[in-house]
Structure formats: C-alpha cells, structure tokens
Structure 1
Amino acid sequence: MPIIALLIVGAAAGFIATRIMRLETDLLATVGIGVLGALIGGLVLRILLMITGWMAGFVGAVLGAMVLIWLWRQYGPRR
C-alpha cells in the first residue's frame, strides 16, 4: 500500500512541479520526478511532517520535485 500511495502522491507532485517550473515531460518522467521529489522532500521535511501532518509531506514532495527539476536544468544534458 505505501508504494501505491508514493506513486499517486509522486504523480500529483510531479504534475504540479512540472507545471510550476514550465517543463514539458511525458507521464513516466513526470511520475519519476514526483517520486524522486517525494523521496527528497520526505527526507528533508520529515520533522515538519511530524509536526504539521500529511499536508507537509505533499508540500515537501512538490518542493523536492522542483529542486530535482532545477538540478536537471542546471546540470543535465543540453539540447
């Protein structure tokens, strides 16, 4: 069950992050960005999650996905 929840939250976070960062990706990349962002954000914001509840985890997932997109744009392959 936690894996399914991670995919659902990751897909939503990736979708929001790619729209905020104006990045056009396919579905698999969007979900991947969201899942990795959720993992990054979850690690960084674990204390915040304990204090404020599940919404902080979602905010952390979106922020983590945005950081991942920024890193990709800065250090990823050039077109």
Structure 2
Amino acid sequence: MAIVFLIIIGAAAGFIATRLMRLEADIPTTMAIGIFGALLGGFVLRMLMALTGFAAGFVGAVLGAMLLIWLYRVYVQRR
C-alpha cells in the first residue's frame, strides 16, 4: 500500500513541480520526477527539519522534484 501512496503523491508532486519550473514533460517523466523527488526531498526535509506527516512529505516531494528538474536543465538539457 505504501508504494501506491508514493506513486500518487509522487505524481501530484511531479505535476506541481513541472508547472512551477515550466517544464513540458510527458506523464511518465512527470511521475518519475515526482517519485524520485518525493524520495529525495521527503527524506532530506524530514531529516533536516525533523518534520513528520503528510504535509512535510508532500512539500519535500515538490521541492525534491524541483531540484531534479533544475539538475536536469543544468546538466542534461545543455548537451
């Protein structure tokens, strides 16, 4: 059940992050960005700020997805 929850939260976070960063991406890419961003951002945010719960995980997921979009633009898209 946690995997399904992660996919749903990741997809929502990826959608929000791609809109905030103005990145045009297809649905699988958006979901992948969101899921990996949820893992990265949620973990870092919870560890650094000692926040728990849904809100911290979702905010961390969006921030993590935005970080991955920025890294993608800096290192991959310029080639």
Q: Distance in 2 between matches of 1:57 and 1:43?
A: 8
Seq. identity, %: 66
Q: How does 1:18-37 map to 2 (within 5 A)?
A: 18-37=18-37
Gaps of 5+ in 1: none
TM (norm. structure 2) is 0.90
**Number of equivalent positions:** 77
Q: Give the CA deviation at 1:63.
A: 0.1
CA RMSD of aligned residues (A): 1.3
Name the counterpart of 2:75.
75
Gaps of 5+ in 2: none
CA offsets 1:11-59 (integer angstroms, 9 cap, x no match): 0000000000000000000000000000101220124333xx3101100
Q: Distance in 2 between matches of 1:61 and 1:27?
A: 17
Name the counterpart of 2:6.
6
Q: Distance in 2 between matches of 1:14 and 1:42?
A: 13
CA contact (8 A) 2:10 2:32 kept: yes
